[in-house]
């Protein structure tokens, strides 16, 4: 990520190695302290992590996209090996982001006299936001969902909250429980929420900073998602509603269904927080979202017939405007369907949409629907805000559209599947409600794979075998990968 402008205003994507050489140099001035903070975001932007690949992995494990070229090996078939490069890259990138965040927290704390108290707190809040994001994605990739055990006591990931030097034995930690990781994520986000800004100011491009760095709205929105995954629907609704009410700034859906995607559309009121890319700093040809998704790129990922067919995606009406975001390829690809959410093939500049306002609305709608005793009118209203933008001939929902709250919840989950398609949500949305993956096609688009049930061993990634070996068995492997 990049912070544009003068040498004092670097972007999250442009941190030079010389800024990270020594603590004395990296934290010697207020400008360098801020640059070290922004370097933590650069860890999230890693090609194997949140700038594209991680979002793809979450969707490939579900049923709505197909790996038509076999580029992602056995991941879509739930058959990775313990030495999988995919798993190793996610693990390394996530913990690199955590290490950068921890290092910056230590450096800011040791050099706080060079900053105002408010600035020091704000920068530490950004680091905790980054650490929370990395831990949340890592625990969902490498551990079973929160509700896999009644008390979330099952194995999670190592919890690293200190800054360690290279090969420090103190960093060789066993896996904390999933519950402990969620507690840490919630703690970091809650602290961050208190000290992060609503918007950034004092930069040549304030809106860019506001959409790509931690803000109160981003922290509150992510807290809503974390609580939703945890099954704490009261808090999920609370933190989503704080954003919806405008407590942390103004957000709204764009008029067009594609209004948050493509060059020029990344900094609108629909974007809460994204990982930015540009022509000079992007995940490269083998990792960028447009390269994988676009028929003008590598076209590895086609949309599954399961997603397109009303019989297997019943909330996706035939005249839903979001079907205009689906195109056919050309030539040999003319019979295949692709998304147009990511189109900057030449520059690989598509931003990774980590949190959009549409998700916040749907988080609230689901949480409110689940906590209400009957069919909740406010949940229906928030669901309609998202659905009405895309519907054509279908009537708007009313409370009378649903016989009971379970029908409303199903409609919210169905809307979530369509609206957030290809943005890295589907598989984890299925897992958090203990659903199975059904109607999943193999890469040929013809052969159906067996149903993949909730709790299956290979729904999660293996702990990289190299990490287990380096830890001298302090780390324990996930079942099914021994």
142 touches 464 (CB < 8 A): no
- pLDDT tens figures, 450-477: 999 999 999 999 999 999 999 998 999 9
Q: Partners of 303 in the beta sheet?
A: 65
Give the other-Cβ count within 10 Å of 293's Cβ: 28
| Of 330, 353, 361, 390, the residue nearest 239 (C-alpha) | 361
Only one residue has tokens 């809040």, namely: 125
| Of 45, 43, 28, 32, the residue nearest 123 (C-alpha) | 32
Q: What is the pLDDT of residue 442?
A: 97
For CA atoms 202, 35, 44, 180, give the dihedral sign. negative
Q: How far apart are CA 220 and CA 217, in angstroms?
A: 5
Residue 450 region, left (φ>0) first, then alpha (ψ -120 to 50), else beta?
beta
| Of 342, 348, 380, the residue nearest 361 (C-alpha) | 380
Q: What is the pLDDT of residue 5?
A: 36
Q: What is the pLDDT of residue 144?
A: 98
Q: Partners of 174 in the beta sheet?
A: none
Q: What is the pLDDT of residue 95?
A: 96
Complete domains list, the chain, with CATH: 1-44+81-173+456-482 (1.25.40.890)
Residues of the chain with pLDDT under 70: 1-24
Residue partners of 72: CB distance under 8 A and separation at least 6:
56, 57, 60, 86, 300
Q: State phi, psi for 288 to the nearest 5 degrees.
A: -70, 145
Q: pTM, whole model, 2 decimals?
A: 0.95
| Of 366, 12, 19, 350, the residue nearest 205 (C-alpha) | 12
- pLDDT tens figures, 97-137: 999 999 999 999 999 999 999 999 999 999 999 999 999 99
Structure token pair of residue 309? 């067919």
């Amino acid at each position: 990520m990049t912070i544009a402008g003068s040498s004092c205003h670097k972007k999250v994507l442009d941190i030079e190695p010389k800024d990270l050489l020594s603590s004395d140099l990296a934290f010697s001035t207020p400008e360098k302290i801020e640059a070290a903070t922004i370097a933590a975001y650069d860890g999230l932007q890693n090609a194997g992590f949140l700038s594209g690949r991680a979002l793809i992995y979450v969707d490939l494990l579900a049923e709505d996209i197909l790996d038509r070229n076999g580029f992602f090996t056995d991941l879509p078939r739930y058959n990775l090996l313990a030495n999988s490069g995919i798993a190793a890259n996610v693990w390394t990138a996530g913990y690199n982001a955590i290490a950068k965040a921890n290092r910056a927290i230590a450096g800011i704390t040791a050099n706080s006299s060079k900053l105002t108290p408010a600035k020091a707190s704000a920068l530490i809040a950004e680091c905790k936001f980054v650490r929370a994001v990395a831990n949340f994605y890592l625990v969902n990739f490498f551990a079973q969902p929160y509700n896999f055990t009644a008390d979330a006591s099952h194995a999670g990931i190592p919890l690293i909250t200190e800054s360690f030097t290279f090969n420090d034995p103190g960093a060789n930690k066993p896996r904390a429980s999933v519950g402990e990781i969620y507690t840490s994520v919630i703690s970091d986000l809650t602290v961050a929420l208190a000290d992060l800004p609503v918007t950034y100011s004092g930069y040549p491009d304030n809106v860019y900073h506001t959409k790509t760095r931690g803000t109160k709205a981003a922290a509150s929105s992510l807290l809503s998602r974390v609580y939703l995954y945890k099954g704490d629907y009261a808090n999920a609704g609370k933190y989503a509603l704080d954003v919806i009410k405008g407590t942390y700034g103004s957000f709204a859906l764009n008029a067009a269904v594609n209004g948050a995607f493509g060059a020029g559309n990344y900094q609108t009121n629909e974007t809460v927080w994204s990982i930015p890319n540009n022509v000079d700093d992007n995940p490269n040809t083998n990792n960028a979202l447009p390269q994988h998704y676009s028929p003008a790129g590598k076209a590895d990922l086609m949309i599954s017939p399961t997603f397109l067919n009303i019989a297997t995606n019943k909330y996706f009406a035939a005249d839903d405007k979001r079907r205009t975001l689906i195109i056919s390829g050309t030539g040999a690809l003319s019979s295949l369907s692709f998304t147009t959410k990511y189109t900057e093939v030449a520059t690989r500049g598509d931003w990774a949409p980590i949190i959009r306002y549409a998700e916040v609305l749907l988080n609230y709608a689901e949480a409110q629907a689940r906590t209400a005793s009957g069919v909740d009118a406010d949940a229906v209203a928030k669901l309609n805000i998202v659905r009405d933008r895309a519907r054509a001939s279908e009537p708007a929902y009313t409370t009378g559209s649903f016989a009971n709250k379970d029908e409303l919840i199903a409609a919210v989950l169905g809307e979530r599947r369509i609206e957030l398609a290809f943005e890295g949500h589907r598989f984890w949305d299925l897992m958090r409600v203990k659903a199975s993956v059904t109607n999943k096609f193999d890469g040929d688009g013809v052969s159906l794979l067996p149903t993949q049930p909730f709790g299956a061993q290979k729904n999660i990634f293996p702990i990289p075998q190299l990490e287990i070996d380096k830890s001298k068995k302090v780390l324990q492997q996930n079942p099914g990968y021994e």
